[in-house]
Amino acid sequence: MDKPRIETVSSDPVPRMNPILFDRAFAFAPASTLRLPELLETEDRLQGTEIFPNYSFSLSARPDQKFDMTFHGPERNGWGDSKLEALLSTFRGVFFQTLTPEYYNIDGSATNALSLLRWDAQKRRALVSLSGPRHGDPRWRYRAAVDLRNENWVIRESFTGPAPPLASFNIRKEALSAGITSFHSERWSWSTGAELSYRDFRSVDIRSALSPGLLIQSYQLKEASDLKYRLIHLPERRLTATADVSAEIGRIWSQPAHPFSKTQGSLTAHWFPRAKGDDLEIQQQIRAGGIFGTVPLDELFILGLERDNDLPMRAHIGTRDGRKGSAPLGWNYFLSNWEMDKSLYSNGLISTKLGPFLDTGRITNQSNPPESQEWLWDAGVQAKISVLGVKFVLTYGRDLRAGKGVFYARAPVR
């Protein structure tokens, strides 16, 4: 049908981003026919800038049977649009002894400087990252970061009840990383990068719980690649599904040297069951991964809730008395996370969602960290609260195998 024919493209409100850069983010142009691949590629580029948390497109019919396209997307700029937003963003983790200063869209260039400072005596961390479009082209985005950590670990079989220490140590790690991401297709996106790090272990008491190979003190260099593919996109059903495959290849420069590889894959489905709005939202993510070779202990997969971990089992806490090491960890894992969110209240400034979740996972090992290889099942309810775009998540999860329930609060990094 050669429709819809776009006559003009405008924005409401007008973004502070550099007009040339903003125009390059659009894969379609005025006086042309809008096609779905172009719209999807535009969305990927806009999301890649990380300064449009929520946006929409609207078409307005004209008498000549053409359409005007309007982009609606409030930006993240500077510390925030108000002092209250800046304070909430920076101090949202203060109850967890963490500050998160973030500065977005530097000089209208879609360049963002994000940082994290944690003074928790058991897991100190300082992180600074910078990202932006490469040579003013939103199809490419670079990222560089410096990450410093000083953490106390105590390996235990559980985060509650009788669980004597099986091993303990202090780890200091300094890491420098850089990478680039490509948004050149409506279905594909990829990224690649490298990280150089150095770690050392102190006050080590490994007893019989850990292999000495997990506590190698040396430099480490690794290359990481990631490939994402949009499997399903059904706008009329409001359903999307995405596949993601990542791989890391590295080497520990000890005597002798230790090469290793790390692979992960995931399938993610996202569905809005109702015809309009986000009153009801359902998500399902399935992930699996494996490690081959010798890696430091902090590179193992961890299933549990912990502020530096992205593999959540929401009734298993990754720390005890503030020290890491109480969640299942190992070389190979499977993890399924399902959740449903129902909107309870929203007034444009504050929104609240509530819904159930179900997690199931399993860790299998090739060595002897103290974890069983049984299937884990966690169920519960979580609340998602957003204040001026700053998010907080409260969960109550119950371990269906052990019959234990836990509360957990976190402020996700944006």
Beta bridge pairs of residue 265: 245, 288
**Tokens found for residue 190:** 């990829």
Does residue 395 fall inside a structural domain? Answer: no
Residues 53 and 159 in one domain: no
In which domain, by residue range, is 28 found? 5-72
Residues 204 and 273 in one domain: yes
C-alpha count within 13 angstroms, C-beta hemisphere, residue 31: 0
The CATH number of residue 50's host domain is 3.10.20.310
Q: CB of 87 within 8 A of CB of 27?
A: no
Distance CA 37, CA 5 (A): 15
Does residue 16 fall inside a structural domain? Answer: yes
C-alpha count within 13 angstroms, C-beta hemisphere, residue 6: 21
Residues 89 and 66 in one domain: no
Shortest CA distance to 383 belongs to which of 375, 374, 394?
394
Residues 40 and 181 in one domain: no
Residues 191 and 47 in one domain: no
Residues 66 and 94 in one domain: no
Residue 368's pLDDT is 41
Q: Which of 72, 94, 114 is the C-terminal boundary of a domain?
A: 72
Does residue 48 fall inside a structural domain? Answer: yes
Residues 243 and 147 in one domain: yes
Residue 112's pLDDT is 97
Extract long-range pairs of 387-390: CB within 8 Å, 24+ residues apart.
387/88, 387/349, 387/350, 388/80, 388/81, 388/82, 388/84, 388/85, 388/88, 388/349, 388/350, 389/53, 389/76, 389/85, 389/414, 390/85, 390/88, 390/89, 390/92, 390/414
Domains in the chain, number: 2
- 276 phi/psi in degrees, rounded to 5: -145, 160
Distance CA 247, CA 293 (A): 14
Residues 48 and 100 in one domain: no
Q: Which residues contact 60 (CB under 8 A, 6 or more apart)?
A: 67, 68, 70
Residues 331 and 300 in one domain: yes
Residues 61 and 175 in one domain: no
**Tokens found for residue 330:** 């190992």
Residues 11 and 95 in one domain: no
Shortest CA distance to 369 belongs to which of 152, 167, 158, 200?
167
Shortest CA distance to 138 belongs to which of 182, 189, 187, 185?
182
Residues 160 and 183 in one domain: yes
Distance CA 43, CA 41 (A): 5
**Tokens found for residue 265:** 């894959």
List the pLDDT tens digit at each of the 414 positions of the chain.
788 999 999 998 999 999 999 999 999 988 899 999 999 999 999 999 999 988 999 999 999 999 999 999 989 999 988 899 999 999 999 999 999 999 999 999 999 999 999 999 999 999 999 999 999 999 999 999 999 999 999 988 888 777 788 888 999 999 999 999 999 888 999 999 999 999 999 998 877 667 777 888 899 999 999 999 999 999 899 999 999 999 999 999 988 889 999 999 999 999 999 988 889 999 999 999 999 998 999 999 999 999 999 999 999 999 999 999 998 888 999 999 999 999 999 887 899 999 999 999 999 874 444 445 689 999 999 999 999 888 999 999 999 988 889 999 998 865
Q: CB of 163 within 8 A of CB of 320?
A: yes
Does residue 406 fall inside a structural domain? Answer: no
Residue 209's pLDDT is 62
Does residue 393 fall inside a structural domain? Answer: no
Does residue 149 fall inside a structural domain? Answer: yes
Does residue 196 fall inside a structural domain? Answer: yes
Shortest CA distance to 364 belongs to which of 337, 335, 402?
335
Does residue 33 fall inside a structural domain? Answer: yes
Q: Which of 19, 42, 72 is the C-terminal boundary of a domain?
A: 72
Q: CB of 35 within 8 A of CB of 26?
A: no
Distance CA 190, CA 202 (A): 38
Q: How far is CA 218 from the centre of its chain?
A: 28
Residue 27's pLDDT is 92
The CATH number of residue 372's host domain is 2.40.160.50
Shortest CA distance to 126 belongs to which of 145, 147, 144?
147
Q: Which of 72, 94, 115 is the C-terminal boundary of a domain?
A: 72
